[in-house]
């Protein structure tokens, strides 16, 4: 009996030991890590000219090769010269990302063309300038639809032979008259080929005709809008070309006798690099501008490569190099220091401290603080008529 009891106790001890070992084994088991997203091998982007460089123009400016080497995703770029063109291309489909300005982003969001992004997949989002993180042109109902890329003003570019001193007002492109070189401005100025340019006219009128009561160049009632169109019609006979291709504008300032126009820092930098006598200024009335956001298409065929690009795009080196190339301001403040191409004063020179002085492009909507404003659909139709001389 004693022997049977001993054997029984031994079996219980062995069983208990096995249970402990089994439980210990279960405790040591680590959860499986989620599988890394499968990269699709390419990403297709609609972008402003000069925004995505691979060193073809200047080997020092290349933020594509490193991304491709790191991810294996080939970058394909389609440039667009206006926000309307960007909206059209994205609506047609076939692209993953777009570097959209505020006058396009809301249209793309409201139209369901772009999707909300998962910021957990963009770990560096916290480094974005806090003035841009939740900006109204890419954040709707608490959802973020993109990652800020760059920002800057629409400057007044001028020929320094025609203007010995910097012009102080947009009147040189809006009002008929003689320029400091003694010649008329007719046929020597340009205007932007995009309906959002109505806001430039409205901004000028904010100072020129304060009795109109314009408080925001993107929120115009019928009377204010009519005044802006009247100014643009008066400008029409002066215009050499309504430009939308940055490279064509560079050629016009080089070969066609154009001496003043609203422009982007990209053209200013390109012309200066080519030895042309140009400079730029933000006149007394202020300037419109762009704060561009990289948005992802709802139908993106290469979302994993696209997310990799979104993260790559806010790398301080990429941001600083791009700002140096384009003459823009980085969306990541850390890019302002330690970048050889941008230099220690690059961000200040490009307008980092002028954020509150710029009227960033926005999509005009019917509902506005005034109660009712002229929507973008009207701007688009009427501006085409203005450019046609009607």
Residue 271's domain is classified under what CATH number? Answer: 3.40.190.10
- Shared domain check, 205 and 132: no
Q: Could you read off the pLDDT tens digit of each residue along the chain, which spans 390 residues?
A: 434 444 444 443 443 444 444 444 455 556 666 677 899 999 999 999 999 999 999 999 999 999 999 999 999 999 998 999 999 999 999 999 999 999 999 999 999 999 999 999 999 999 999 999 999 999 999 999 999 999 999 999 999 999 999 999 999 999 999 999 999 999 999 999 999 999 999 999 999 999 999 999 999 999 999 999 999 999 999 999 999 999 999 999 999 999 999 999 889 989 999 999 999 999 999 999 999 999 999 999 999 999 999 999 999 999 999 999 999 999 999 999 999 999 999 999 898 998 988 999 999 999 998 889 999 999 999 999 999 998
Instruction: Say how many domains are in the chain.
Output: 2
The reply to whether 60 falls in a domain is yes
Q: Do 46 and 134 belong together in one domain?
A: yes
| Inside any domain, residue 382 | yes
Residue at 21 is within a domain: no
248 occurs within a structural domain: yes
Q: What is the pTM of this model?
A: 0.84
Residue 296, beta-bridge partner list: 97, 115
Q: Which domain holds residue 64?
A: 42-152+290-360
Phi/psi of residue 218, nearest 5 degrees: -105, 0
233 shares its domain with 96:
no
Q: Is residue 180 domain-resident?
A: yes
| Whether 161 and 300 share a structural domain | no
Q: Are residues 214 and 87 in the same domain?
A: no
| Residue that has been written with the tokens 């499986």 in this structure | 32
Instruction: Tell me: do 260 and 376 sit in the same domain.
Output: yes
223 with 134, same domain?
A: no
Residue 278, SS3?
strand
Size of the chain in residues:
390
Q: Is 82 in a helix, a strand, or coil?
A: coil
Q: Do 192 and 280 belong to one domain?
A: yes
How far is it, in rounded angstroms, from Cα 387 to Cα 232? 9
How many Å apart are CA 218 and CA 201, to the nearest integer?
11
Exposure string of 14-53, with b = 16+ CB inside 10 Å and e = fewer, is: eeeeeeeeeeeeeeeeeeeeeeeeebbebbbbbbbbbbbb
Rama region for 93: left / alpha / beta (φ>0; ψ in -120 to 50; rest): left
Q: Are residues 218 and 295 in the same domain?
A: no
Residues 328 and 302 in one domain: yes
Is residue 258 located within the same domain as residue 372? yes
């Amino acid at each position: 009996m004693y022997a049977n009891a001993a054997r029984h106790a031994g079996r219980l001890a062995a069983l208990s030991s096995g249970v402990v070992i089994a439980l210990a084994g279960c405790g040591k088991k680590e959860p499986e890590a989620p599988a890394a997203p499968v990269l699709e091998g390419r990403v297709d982007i609609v972008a402003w000219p000069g925004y995505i460089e691979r060193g073809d123009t200047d080997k020092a400016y290349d933020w594509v090769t490193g991304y491709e080497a790191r991810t294996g995703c080939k970058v394909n770029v389609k440039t667009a010269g206006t926000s309307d063109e960007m909206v059209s291309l994205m609506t047609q489909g076939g692209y993953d990302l777009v570097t959209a300005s505020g006058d396009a982003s809301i249209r793309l969001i409201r139209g369901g063309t772009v999707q909300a992004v998962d910021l957990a997949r963009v770990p560096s989002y916290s480094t974005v300038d806090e003035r841009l993180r939740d900006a109204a042109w890419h954040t709707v109902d608490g959802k973020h639809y993109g990652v800020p890329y760059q920002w800057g003003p629409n400057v007044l570019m001028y020929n320094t032979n025609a203007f010995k001193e910097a012009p102080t007002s947009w009147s040189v492109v809006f009002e008929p008259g003689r320029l400091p070189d003694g010649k008329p401005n007719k046929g020597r100025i340009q205007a932007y080929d995009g309906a959002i340019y109505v806001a430039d006219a409205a901004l000028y009128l904010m100072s020129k005709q304060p009795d109109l009561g314009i408080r925001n160049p993107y929120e115009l009632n019928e009377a204010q809008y009519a005044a802006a169109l009247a100014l643009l019609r008066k400008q029409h006979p002066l215009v050499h070309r309504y430009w939308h291709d940055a490279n064509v504008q560079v050629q016009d300032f080089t070969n066609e006798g154009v001496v003043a126009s609203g422009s982007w820092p990209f053209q200013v930098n390109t012309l200066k690099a080519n030895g042309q006598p140009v400079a730029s200024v933000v006149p007394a009335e202020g300037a419109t501008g762009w704060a561009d956001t990289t948005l992802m298409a709802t139908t993106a065929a290469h979302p994993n490569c696209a997310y990799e690009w979104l993260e790559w795009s806010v790398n301080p080196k990429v941001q600083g190099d791009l700002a140096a190339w384009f003459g823009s301001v980085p969306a990541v403040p850390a890019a302002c220091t330690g970048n050889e191409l941008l230099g220690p004063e690059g961000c200040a020179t490009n307008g980092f401290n002028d954020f509150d002085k710029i009227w960033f492009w926005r999509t005009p909507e019917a509902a506005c603080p005034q109660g009712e404003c002229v929507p973008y659909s009207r701007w688009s139709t009427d501006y085409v008529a203005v450019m046609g001389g009607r």
